[in-house]
Amino acid sequence: MNSPLDSVVLLQIGPVPITHAVVTTWAIMAVLVLGAFLMTRRLDLRPGKPQAALELLVSTLDTQIRETTGAEPAPYRGFIGTLFLFILVANWSSLLPGIDPPTARLETDAALAALVFLSVIWFGVRSGGVGGYLKSFAAPNPVMIPLNMLESVTRVFSMFVRLFGNVMSGVFVIGIVASLAGLLVPIPLMALDLLTGLVQAYIFAVLAMVFITSAVNEGAHSPEVPASSPSEKDQ
């Protein structure tokens, strides 16, 4: 059986090996970008069906961001929405025969988590300045500086392992059941996988939003805590 931790090198461009997951990622990116471009090319005040669906999606995202952070969604909509949509499409791409979801590989999830790590710094610095962001490490008191620095890395790492583990275990279990029992038996498991994929995409986006909000709030020294956010401390 193939190890779920290795990645299959598909082709080589110069010195850079291109793995299977990277090619799938490119395909998903192309589909998302082209789809977004085609659907927003002719926007109308009286929306047709595709535009109505798109508006529903965007307004749902906005509502979720507003409920999680208590802030206006505009600066975060692009990043969080893209994260959510990409992970969702990537998780569900396992439904197409012959395609492994790229989120079931270590490198894709590591890249997504690194993006979240950088965006926390970016939004934190943008709201409170470099000094404000650095000072947020010394809250509630300077003894916590090493712990806060450690936490900012470990919480992102835990996001990465969570997404990888959940998607990979789904693919792995389906593979085992299909090899043991036969062709049509894993269908209920695949249905469960759809739910897991949706929930994991949602959680990744919500956690990214919560981390960004905490950096923004601490940097700006406004102690208000968002009302309905899940716990910021992540285990």
Partner 1 sequence: MDYPAIASIFCAAFAVAFGALGPALAEGRAVAAAMDAIARQPEAANTISRTLFVGLAMIETTAIYCLVIALLLLFANPLLA
Peptide bond into 97 cis (omega under 30): no
Q: Is residue 105 involved in binding partner 1 (CB under 8 A)?
A: no
The distance from CA 13 to its chain's CA centroid, rounded to whole angstroms, is: 28
- Binding part of the chain for partner 1, among 53-61, 131-139, 163-171, 216-224 by CB under 8 A, reads 163-171
**Contact flag: residue 6 with partner 1 (CB under 8 A):** yes
Any contact of residue 160 with partner 1 (CB under 8 A)? no
The interface with partner 1 within residues 125-154 (CB under 8 A) comprises none
Cβ proximity of 214 and 192 under 8 Å: no
Phi, psi (degrees; rounded to nearest 5) at 8: -85, 125
Q: Could you say whether residue 161 binds partner 1 (CB under 8 A)?
A: yes
Cβ proximity to partner 1: between 39 and 203 the closer is 203
Task: Print the binding letters for residues 166-205 with partner 1: x by CB under 8 A, - otherwise.
Answer: x--x--x--------------------------xx-xx--
Q: What element of type H or E holds 162?
A: helix 145-181
Least spacing, CB of residue 180 vs partner 1, in Å = 17
| Contact between 161 and 103 (Cβ < 8 Å) | no
Compare residues 139 and 203 and give the one whose CB is closer to partner 1: 203
Rounded Cα gap, residues 203 and 148, in angstroms: 22
- Amino acid at position 72, single letter: E
Q: Hey, what are 225's tokens? A: 């805590």
- By the criterion CB under 8 A, which residues form the site for partner 1? 3-6, 158, 161-162, 164-166, 169, 172, 199-200, 202-203, 206, 228, 230, 234-235
